[in-house]
Structure 1
Amino acid sequence: MSLSRSENRKRAPLMTPGRWILLIAGFLLFAAVSFALYVRSADADYRNEEIHAIKRAKQEAGLKSASEAYKHVWEETVWVVIGKDAEGVKWFVWEKQDGIVKEREDAGESKDEIADRFRVEHPGNKIVRLMPGWFQGRPAWEIRYVADPSNGRQAIDFYSFQDGSKLKTYDLPGK
């Protein structure tokens, strides 16, 4: 039996199932790499500020190592770098536009002491965030917490870094 001319000249399809799989896999790889680069570039400014803050703390405050760095934005933007000097003493360094403020960790209330004080004042309230900051022209601790668990409303308390006294409470609107 002989094949007809049209059957003789029929070409194989250009996109075979194997080629479709390669094309889709290539697109997914491209999308994943593009997303990773986007996330990395979106975070780059913050990371550069953090690196600059740590370098400044090492140069101006004499830290040899930094364990944590926080950006605190309230009345003004302040970077807080926590680290140790050459003797191993732990320091808090608040970097403001007009200079730095450096305090030994043991000269003020620790994070755990402030958390304990908060739990005594607000039993049953869940702490959302606890971080060092700057409030009313001095070093402070900021505690953001769920003030009303029934509707999820939150509040922020500020405590003095030096003596742990409560400075102010802000009830946040919402929910």
Structure 2
Amino acid sequence: MARSRSPRWYFTRRGWTVVAVLALILLLALIHAELRSIQQPVWQGEAQAASLAKEQAGLTEVASAEKYVWDEPLWIVRGSTAEGRQLVVWLLPERAPYAENAAESATEEDIRAKLLAAKPDAKLLHVRPAWHQGSPAWEAYYSRTTDQLRYFYEFYDFKTGAERATYSLTAKRSS
């Protein structure tokens, strides 16, 4: 009489569950590795900008490093010196870095308040340091809806907060 054999482990429900879990873990590991390889150049750029700002502008601590592109690509680094002064440093390509004392300039909150006072219907998307027409500035990006949804970039002087220029993007019809 033929002896009945138990089914192989991978033909059982438990076997398929183990295979599915292992496949899921492998898939997640591959996705994680891919995302890290995509982000690696950004992280390297941030680290290089932070290092340059520490070396050339005298920062001891870096709070943020952000790539900025308008007239030309550059890095904007925020941080503090050994004396505790808060600086914003613009790392311009093939030029000496330009640094401003954050305490002696308009703040992000000043720019937000000024924009919303002038345009109360504006939906403010971001305010950040910028480089506009060869000097430091604040960039405000916002939208307004009248009969159409429109997006705007508005630039303010970094030190005084005085309005410099406004650029309107192509209108989108509201639905």
8 Å contact 1:57–1:63 — kept in the other structure? yes
**Aligned residue among 35, 41, 44 for 1:45:** 41
What is the deviation of 1:167?
A: 1.6
TM-score of the pair, normalised by structure 2: 0.89
What is the deviation of 1:150?
A: 6.4
Choose 162-171 or 19-28, whichever is displaced more. Answer: 162-171
Paired residue for 1:131? 128
8 Å contact 2:150–2:169 — kept in the other structure? yes
Q: Which blocks of at least 5 consecutive residues in structure 1 are unaligned? A: none
8 Å contact 1:144–1:157 — kept in the other structure? yes
Q: Relative to structure 1, is the Cα distance of residues 150 and 47 closer, same or farther in structure 2, using a 3 angstrom cutoff?
A: farther
Determine the C-alpha separation between the residues in 2 that align with 1:145 and 1:92: 23
SS in 2 for 1:115: helix
Paired residue for 1:55? 51
**Aligned residue among 130, 150, 153 for 1:153:** 150
What is the deviation of 1:106?
A: 2.3
What is the deviation of 1:85?
A: 0.7
What is the deviation of 1:156?
A: 1.0
Determine the C-alpha separation between the residues in 2 that align with 1:37 and 1:166: 45
Determine the C-alpha separation between the residues in 2 that align with 1:26 and 1:155: 49
Determine the C-alpha separation between the residues in 2 that align with 1:71 and 1:174: 27
Determine the C-alpha separation between the residues in 2 that align with 1:85 and 1:139: 19
8 Å contact 2:142–2:153 — kept in the other structure? yes
What is the deviation of 1:124?
A: 2.5
Determine the C-alpha separation between the residues in 2 that align with 1:127 and 1:70: 19
Q: Relative to structure 1, is the Cα distance of residues 23 and 67 closer, same or farther in structure 2, using a 3 angstrom cutoff?
A: same
**Aligned residue among 7, 17, 20 for 1:13:** 7
Aligned length: 169
Paired residue for 1:121? 118
What code does the residue aligned with 2:46 have?
Answer: E
Q: Which blocks of at least 5 consecutive residues in structure 2 are unaligned? A: none
Choose 12-21 or 24-33, whichever is displaced more. Answer: 12-21
2:70 matches 1:74: yes
What is the deviation of 1:99?
A: 2.0
TM-score of the pair, normalised by structure 1: 0.89
Give % identity.
Answer: 30
**Aligned residue among 138, 154, 159 for 1:162:** 159
What code does the residue aligned with 1:13 have?
Answer: P
